[in-house]
Chains A and B, each alone.
Chain A
Amino acid sequence: METAAEVVPPRTHYVNARYGVKSWLLTTDHKRIALLYLASVTFFFFVGGFFAVLIRLELLTPQGDLVQAETYNRLFTMHGVVMIFFFLIPAIPAVLGNFLVPLMVGAKDLAFPRINLLSWYIYTLGATFTVIAILLGGVDTGWTFYTPYSSTYSNGNVILTGLGVFIVGFSSILTGLNFIVTIHTMRAPGLTWFRLPLFIWSHYATSLIMILGTPVIAVTILLLALERLAHIGIFDPALGGDPVLFQHLFWFYSHPAVYIMVLPAMGVISELVANMTRKNIFGYKFVAFASIAIAVFGFLVWGHHMFVSTQSVYAGMVFSILSYAVAIPSAVKVFNWTATLYKGSISYNTPMLYAFGFIGFFIIGGMTGLFLAALGVDIHVHDTYFVVAHFHYIMVGGTIMGYLGGLHYWWPKISGRMYPEGWARFAALVIFVGFNLTFFPQFLLGYMGMPRRYYAYPEEFQVLNVMSSAGASILGVGYLIPMIYLIWSMRYGPHASANPWGAFGLEWRTSSPPPTQNFEETPVVTWEAYEFHPREEREALGVMDVLDRTLRPNVNVGDRG
């Protein structure tokens, strides 16, 4: 290494462009901000994971014997709050999206770099409030904060936690705003909408939800906090209010929020499937518009969380039929990903393994969504472990698989180093097994009738709970392995070339890691998305240069490959 360094002076890229804490904390470079977010969400992932460990330990036995009921309620609430608001929602958009959106559209940065930095600070501020709330003993309302429990009866730190969630919402709004503006106004010459990578489409759809939905949760939490402080009765029936109104306002955001969490993962999977098979995605426009359709329909189905909440039967039916409507675009995506494999050149690299895992989990998670949208079945399984299993299949099996797959796929670009492939495949396998063992038994538990948020449970549920806890311990190990080897690889991993995968997108046409301004010169796009051509076709088309470059390793000046 030393000798090589003497020969070629190290190339300047965004990581080594400047040094010092200040150069990170005051950076406006979207790539550095992405790394700030990466550190933050990883921290919160493990905080939330820690709560999950305690929950699973408690549920090993039917009697509540590890912690107090009060403590248990705080554990699952904080698990939900931390995982949803501080990990899942920002995970892919704020880390991978932040890093990749400008690269993929061929821009030097996001449209508002300072607002981007501000959004990280807002996230940190919201996180601080929430951490203080946790340290002061947490909150026991469930992450859904249902009134009147949260407004009147709970003795946890509802307002402080609410404040944290309220604040972090603005970070999400600013990120969404930045993406929308960047995608609209800063695309490279020639990069038309239908030449955009599907990652961009899904982030565009996500951003729409972020800017339209998040303010509603903000105002809902504001109302809740005021209600708790002044007790005016807007959600209190004794004073003429309506507790179910809170549920409507809450789910108006929180259901679309599910799509904030899963749409970006779908974008990642589209990238992985296309690039790891070196084929154009089957039905590009269908996949692209499916993202938009999900974002739009996602706003119309909030009432399916409330089929047994005394809303009218007809409202229930409308929400049910709309929920089926939103299932269709998701199914279309799965079909198109599968069809993309046809006659591809399918790699078994770690990112692709995660993509396979995602598709499998997403089928189960999605299909069980059909169970829940079926009114008659939902009555039975609503608020049972069936629901818990369903949304973990989407959130953990979907979003986290997508996130990890994406992180591995773009790791060479982010860090300039390769991760250890063997370990990574092993970890993916461990996660796959651990995940299924953790959450599949919960479907059965749910249908047997075990309600969620139970600290102690009747004995007939124990066997499945033990299985689930055993699976969780495997899953936990599975998540620790990548953290260890990714950190290790930042220093010791082999250097990555500009395009180690032979992938197609613009982000692979600059060096790894990219320079601060992303591209040496503004790229001009003359090709369609994922326009892979076999060698002989490329020769005939005379596009040898562009496409060969995607396969030519070591184009980084100064890299030792």
Chain B
Amino acid sequence: MATHAGLAHHFDDVEQQREAGTLGMWAFLVTEVMFFGGLFMAYILYRWKYPSEFAVASNSLNVTMGFINTLVLICSSLTMALAVYFSQIGNRRLITVFLLLTMVLGTTFLVIKGFEYHEKYVEHHVPVRFPTYEFKWEPHVSDHAGAHEATSLAVDTGRVEMFFWLYFAMTGVHALHMIIGLGILTTLVIMTRRGRFTPEYHSPVELSGLYWHFVDIVWIFLFPLLYLIGAHLHR
């Protein structure tokens, strides 16, 4: 068992180190699941309590942008998986290419998300109450959604606000994870450029891949729960 540049002093061999890293990442992701779990719990409780408000509020979200973002993230998962693959076979150029592609897609996601947030801001759907800016919900104005007038009448503003609050909390925390992910990818690109990865030692790429896929999967849950529960109101 030859010593390797990437082997930390306290591990016996690369295999043990890889195992430790992988287990550590999985344990960390379990922690993340519990973290998001608390938010999902709050979401489930209030959606169960206030189904109509949640449907109406959900209906005002921009499904097109959400859908595009879903596609973007799925693609980024693919590019990330490819980066991991090329790190396994040791193609340094292609690792860099796919890491950069993943970063571009991740950034695209965030930019689209930024536009969405801006839209919400303009519509006064950001659930805060400041003297200069206040949450407003005008039942009749939901043009792009084309909801029935009657349905929008039925809702209680406070509960709609609750939906937006959860929307911002959940997507916000998700976006924060994306930003952290981009930071990790940047580090990986630099490490790749410096030739730190070999087919024997590439666990940082693999573990970051796990993280990236996890963040994607969270979005796969967020998208239908936040954007699509009001879809039936279109017709």
Contacts and interface: CB of A to CB of B under 8 A. Distances in A.
Direct contact of A and B (CB under 8 A): yes
B27 A107 contact: no
A347 interface: no
Nearest to A229: B128
Q: Is the interface of B mostly helix, strand, loop or mixed?
A: helix
Nearest to A226: B169
Interface in A214-236: 214-216, 218-220, 222-223, 226, 230-234
A376 interface: no
Contacts of A218: 35, 38
Interface residues on A, range: 35 or more
A181 B30 CA distance: 13
A51 B166 CA distance: 38
Interface in B152-192: 156, 158-159, 161-162, 165-166, 169, 173
B33 to A, nearest CB: 8
Contacts of A109: 9-10
Of B12, B42, B50, B162, which is in contact with the most chain A CB atoms at under 10 Å from its CB? B42
Interface in B108-156: 127-129, 156
Contacts of A357: none
B1 interface: no
Q: Is the interface of A mostly helix, strand, loop or mixed?
A: helix
Interface residues on B, range: 35 or more
A177 B21 CA distance: 11
A240 B10 contact: no
Nearest to A239: B158
A482 interface: no
Contact of A185 (B19, B28, B38): B19
Contacts of A173: 31
B45 interface: yes
Interface stretch (A36-44, A87-95, A241-249): A241-249
Nearest to A232: B165
Contact of A223 (B23, B24, B42, B50): B42
A233 B27 contact: no
B214 interface: no
B164 to A, nearest CB: 8
Interface in B75-116: none
Contact of B30 (A212, A234, A238, A240): A212
Nearest to B40: A219
A132 interface: no
Contact of B34 (A212, A231, A232, A242): A212
A522 interface: yes
Contacts of A517: 9-10
B2 interface: no
Contacts of A240: 46, 49-50, 156, 158-159, 162
Contact of B16 (A186, A213, A219): A186
Contact of B165 (A112, A230, A522): A230
B83 to A, nearest CB: 23
Given A177-B31, A181-B20, A240-B156, A215 B162 contact: no
Contacts of B34: 211-216
B41 interface: yes
Interface in B33-73: 34-39, 41-42, 45-46, 49-50
A184 interface: yes
Contact of B42 (A185, A214, A245): A245
B32 interface: yes
A113 interface: yes
A226 B39 CA distance: 13
Interface in A104-156: 107-113
5 contacts: A180-B23, A234-B166, A238-B158, A239-B159, A517-B10
Given A177-B24, A216-B34, 14 more contacts: A178-B24, A180-B23, A181-B23, A184-B19, A211-B30, A216-B37, A226-B165, A231-B129, A232-B127, A232-B161, A239-B158, A239-B162, A241-B46, A522-B12
Interface of B: 8-12, 16, 19-20, 23-24, 27-28, 30-32, 34-39, 41-42, 45-46, 49-50, 127-129, 156, 158-159, 161-162, 165-166, 169, 173
